[in-house]
Amino acid sequence: MKKIYLIGIGTGNPEHLTIQAINALKMVNVFFILEKESEKNEDLVKLRKEILQRYLPNEKYRVVVAKIPERKKGGRELEVYKERVSSWRRQKAEIISNLINNKMVDEETGAILIWGDPSLYDGHIEIMNYILKRDMAKFQYDVIPGITSMQVLTAKHKIPLNYIAESIQITTGRRLKESQPDDVKNVVVLLDNYLTYRDFSDTDLNIYWGAYLGTEKEILVSGRLNEVINEIIKTRNEAKKKYGWIMETYILRSEDNEDPRKS
Ligand SMILES: C[S@@+](CC[C@H](N)C(=O)[O-])C[C@H]1O[C@@H](n2cnc3c(N)ncnc32)[C@H](O)[C@@H]1O
């Protein structure tokens, strides 16, 4: 039986791989690198190559690079967005099942290196299940957890994800837009291209913001949202212009004026 590993590789720092991930890398005969057709973000590809060179110096593996189509943009309504993501994932399932059928022989092990952790806003687990359910390829698969952008964010800001008995909400910019300010107590936001925190600038919320987390380009800003919002917008716009891409994650949190970390 063929075997596939979905390996969480963290979000930019090769030292964030777990020992389990490194041991899994050593079992792999073929790595599938899936690049978007107009991949401008060389850093994402670079990190994957750096990980392979660093942890597998003997180079006894194959690398197969496959182009994946760009997801159709537009349609801010949730239903339209969901349908576009589903149809994009179906296309990816076709591509991945062809790779498994044609680029591996029986008993071989393949892997896909997943940014951050495979369970957080990443479609590969669902794609694997989609392929297996439809018998598009035959294989077993395992998921190796990775360090998420959210965890790097809290570590770098030296904050817990939750204070005592506090709940945490994890959401996207798209969903945060639907929230009322009073509902926002402690929310981690990913996938926000819309600078949705601007909608909350007249609240008492604090923000812990990070871009390029785990990479050499990492930028951190934190403070009372209405005091640091202009700095965040200016910093992110300049960085995006300079590097051609940006990935940002932030926490919006209702906190007392007193820094709870000092209590
Ligand atoms: C498709 S999701 C993937 C999340 C990933 N699986 C994880 O565990 O963090 C992409 C989003 O993750 C966040 N992200 C990923 N890498 C990041 C990084 N290095 N710095 C800041 N945010 C990052 C951003 O919010 C980005 O829009």
pLDDT in tens, the chain (263 residues): 999 999 999 998 999 999 999 999 999 999 999 887 665 566 777 788 889 999 999 888 999 988 887 776 666 677 777 778 788 888 999 999 999 999 999 999 999 999 999 999 999 999 999 999 999 999 999 999 999 999 999 999 999 999 888 899 999 999 999 999 999 999 999 999 899 999 999 999 999 999 999 999 999 999 999 999 999 999 999 999 999 999 999 999 998 644 555 55
- Residue finishing a domain among 144, 164, 198: 144
Q: What spacing in Å lies between the alpha carbon of 247 and ligand 1's midpoint?
A: 6
Atom of ligand 1 at shortest range from CA of 116:
8
Q: Clarify whether residues 69 and 140 are in a common domain.
A: yes
| Neighbour tally for 87: CB within 10 Å | 13
* Ligand 1 center to 149 CA (angstroms): 5
Last residue of a domain, one of 127, 144, 161: 144
7, 9, 11: which to mutate for ligand 1, most atoms within 8 A of CB? Answer: 11
CB-neighbour burial class of residue 82 (10 A; exposed 0-12, middle 13-18, buried 19+):
exposed
Q: Are residues 235 and 164 in the same domain?
A: yes
Task: Quote the pLDDT of residue 125.
Answer: 97
**106/180 same-domain check:** no
Q: 134 and 199 in one domain? A: no
Give the pLDDT confidence score for residue 159 in this predicted structure: 96
60 with 130, same domain: the answer is yes
For the record, the structure tokens of 147 come out as 């360090």
Residue nearest to atom 22 of ligand 1 (CA): 248
Does 214 contact ligand 1 (Cβ within 6 A)? yes
CB 10 less than 6 A from any atom of ligand 1: no
Query: Are 16 and 90 contained in the same domain?
Result: yes
Spatial strand order of the sheet with 219-224 comes to: 169-172, 186-190, 248-253, 206-211, 219-224
| Dihedral angle sign, alpha carbons of residues 103, 106, 108, 113 | positive
| Residue 130 and residue 54 share a domain | yes
The CATH number for 224's domain is: 3.30.950.10
192 CA from centroid of ligand 1 (Å): 10
Residues 20 and 130 in one domain: yes
Q: Is 52 in the pocket of ligand 1 (CB under 6 A)?
A: no
CA of 256 to the centre of ligand 1 (A): 28
Same-domain status, 124 and 248:
no
Which atom of ligand 1 is nearest to 210's Cα? 21
**Among candidates 152, 183, 148, 154, which has minimal Cα distance to 169?**
183
Query: Residues 144, 5: contact at Cβ < 8 Å?
Result: yes
* Domain shared by 14 and 138, yes or no: yes
Between CA 48 and CA 99 the distance in angstroms is: 18
Tell me if 24 CB under 6 Å of ligand 1: no
Number of folded domains in the chain? 2
> How far apart are the CA of 189 and the centre of ligand 1, in A?
10
The encoded tokens of residue 101 equal 């059928």
Query: 102 CA distance to ligand 1 centroid (A)?
Result: 31
**Residues of the domain holding 12:** 3-144
Answer with the one of 144, 177, 197 that is the final residue of a domain: 144
Q: Are residues 221 and 157 in the same domain?
A: yes
Alpha-carbon distance 235 to 233, whole Å? Answer: 6
> Domain containing 8 — which CATH number?
3.40.1010.10
Give yes or no for residue 88 CB within 6 A of ligand 1: no
Contacts of 154 (CB under 8 A, 6+ apart): 160, 161, 208, 251
23 shares its domain with 111: yes
Q: Which residues pair with 5 in a beta bridge?
A: 111, 142
